[in-house]
Structure 1
Amino acid sequence: MEYKHLHEANRLSWNAATRAHNRHKGDQAAFFRAGGSPLFPEELALLGDLQGQAVLHLQCNAGQDSLGIARLGARVTGVDISDEAITFARALSDASGIAAEFVRSDVYDYFDGLAAAGGQGGSFDTVFSSYGTLCWLSDLARWARGVAAALRPGGRFVFVEFHPAALVFDPQWQPRYDYFNDAPVHEAGVGDYVGETQNAREDPQASASEAFTNPHPSHEFAWGLGRVVAALLAAGLRLEALEEYPYMNGWCAFEGMQDLGGRRWGMPPGMARMPLMYSLVARRPESA
């Protein structure tokens, strides 16, 4: 793979960032044992009834959403490139009493493993991915083909992502990143966006009490909405739903964003609304 070395650099960056993120989240096992769920209403509505389904959660991070999906009655396999994230996810599964399988793998390597196992159709009823996943993918067409191949005939891909139109801005709302960009963008490292969002919610004027500097740089890729849809269609999936939202779930990405409640953030007061997030559902046809 042309960018395999960048994926490995991102793995190290995510290992460091995951430790920082989880220190802000409290006792997550107790949260789950008390009946809590990290899933937002958008995911719950899109996923629908998962009872008895086999669900593949791609780029599952530390497994919190995977366990939320398993709580809905699904048999979940979570895949993530970060060693730290998968170690945490397995421990959280044990401590919470919610069963799920977690696999440490680059998503492309995981797809290759599925292909090597053979068969005309995938084994998953639903493939799911959400929030800040596409920017780590160096080959969009290969990703879309992998998603399609992982699905059984009739299976669905459910996807929620931050809108690429918003991601052209830096945190001060200044245009910085090219929407149409084929080259990787090199950054200082995955940041502690969990802590920054928590601080913004508790006191918008406060600075982070525990500054985090990632010792490992990261490398991201920009994929416009049209290219995402085109890649999924080219992989043989059929688009069933596409929606845009004027808010972000779980991330206060820019200065002055309004806390809308429910871990949701909207545009600053007085600014014209723009799409900050989108979702789509695509299905693998029952037959070719």
Structure 2
Amino acid sequence: MRKDLHEANRLSWNAATVAHNSHKGDQAAFFRNGGSTLFPEEVELLGEIRGLSLLHLQCNSGQDSLSLARLGADVTGVDISDEAIAFARRLSHESGIPARFEREDLFAWFEQAADGQRSFDRVFASYGTICWLSDLDAWARGIARVLRPDGRFVFMEFHPFAMVFNERWQPFYDYFDKAPVEEDGVGDYVAESGTGLTPGEHETGMVDFRNPHNSYEFYWGVGEVVSALIRAGLTLERMEEFPFANGWRGFEGMRDIGGRRMVPPEGMPRIPLMYGLVARKRP
């Protein structure tokens, strides 16, 4: 486990979160007016969550967490970024949607939760999460430990096959490389995605953001994710692959085909851009 790299990522995310939220307008008003940041795919995988306790891993600034709380779940969000958690707590207060937000490195949080015998009906994580984690088995074991019997883990993530390409759709990254990849910090992907990641009101916000803190990413294949969950004692119930990316314009020429679903330019073959799964803890 590379806690030193997790700490570097915390600093990088603190800087990037300010830039990201600068583009999203009055988010409290968006939620007060009934807004939601969720996409149909994760709602369908989660199923009915009203009255259930739900743990949202790497919740970022809490927008999806509050959208889940609005569906009736008792939500706890966890994230490593101080800035993200502070923003999420303010947004919860200003929007009037109750949720708990806790700042901690995820692996440390799992240990604390196990010591406190905390448990949840659902555990949820989505979009650009596991690439920041240095130990996939520890992640899967942590999920299994905090799930209640018959509880479910729901995961939606960008497909690792797409991550072999650079922004110009050129093969660049090694799918099987296990060494951490150093980058020039978490970028302003919210600005680059335009209205794709700002369902309320898109604002110009910060311009030409440059992160002063480098970041480190880890590449995990689909087989590694599934195997880690199985080794942790969970049962895979469902897995889906999608030829579009929700909200994120991560590559040149991506097109919105409706519903903020982004696909490659005309003429390119369809490739998997996202996948989702559901894993259950046996009673």
TM-score range, shorter chain: over 0.9
Q: Give the conservation status (yes or no) of the 8 Å contact 2:156–2:276.
A: yes
In 2, Cα distance between equivalents of 1:178 and 1:266: 22
- Is this contact kept in 1: 2:19–2:206, CA < 8 A? no
Matches within 5 A, 1:4-153: 4-118=3-117, 123-153=119-149
Q: How far apart, CA to CA, are the structure 1 residues paired with 2:197 and 2:280? A: 37
1:175 aligns with 2:171: yes
RMSD after superposition:
1.7
**Structure 1 124/23 Cα, relative in aligned 2: closer, same or farther at 3 Å?**
same
Residue 212 (structure 2) pairs with residue 215 (structure 1): yes
Deviation of the 1:264 alpha carbon: 1.4
2:231 corresponds to 1:234:
yes
| Larger RCO, structure (CA 8 Å, separation 6 or more) | 2
Match of 2:180 in 1: 184
Q: CA deviation at 1:190?
A: 0.2
The answer to whether residue 257 in structure 2 is matched with residue 260 in structure 1 is: yes
Amino acid aligned to 1:229 = V
Q: How many residues were matched structurally?
A: 278
Partner Cα distance (2:266, 2:146) in 1: 43
Give a deviation string over 1:51-96, Cα, whole Å, max 9, x none. 1100000000000000000000000000000000000000000000
Percent same amino acid among aligned pairs? 64
Q: Which runs of 5+ in 2 are unaligned?
A: 199-203
Q: Match of 2:228, as an amino acid?
A: A
What is the distance in 2 between the residues matched to 1:193 and 1:83?
A: 19
Task: Report what 1:246 is aligned to.
Answer: 243
Q: Which amino acid aligns with 2:231?
A: A
- Give the unaligned 5+ runs of structure 1: none
Shift of residue 261, structure 1, vs aligned partner: 2.2
TM-score w.r.t. structure 1 length? 0.94
Contact 2:197 2:247 in 1 (8 A): no
8 A contact 1:187–1:219 mirrored in 2:
yes
Normalising by structure 2, report the TM-score. Answer: 0.95
Q: State the distance in 2 between where 1:265 and 1:190 align.
A: 21
The answer to whether the 8 Å contact 1:201/1:259 transfers is: no
The 1:62–1:200 alpha-carbon spacing in structure 2 relative to 1, beyond 3 Å, is: closer
Structure 1 208/91 Cα, relative in aligned 2: closer, same or farther at 3 Å?
closer
- Which residue of the other structure, out of 153, 156, 160, is the alignment partner of 2:152? 156
Alpha carbons 1:47, 1:158 under 8 Å: kept: yes
CA distance in 1, matches of 2:197, 2:282: 43
Deviation at 1:259, TM superposition (A): 1.3
Counterpart amino acid of residue 242 in structure 1: M
Go from structure 1 to structure 2 and tell me whether the alpha carbon gap of 1:199 and 1:115 turns closer, same or farther (over 3 Å shift): closer
Q: Secondary structure at the match of 1:240?
A: strand
For 1:58 and 1:24, locate their aligned partners in 2 and report how far apart those are by CA, in whole Å. Answer: 23
Runs of 4+, deviation exceeding 6 Å: 199-202
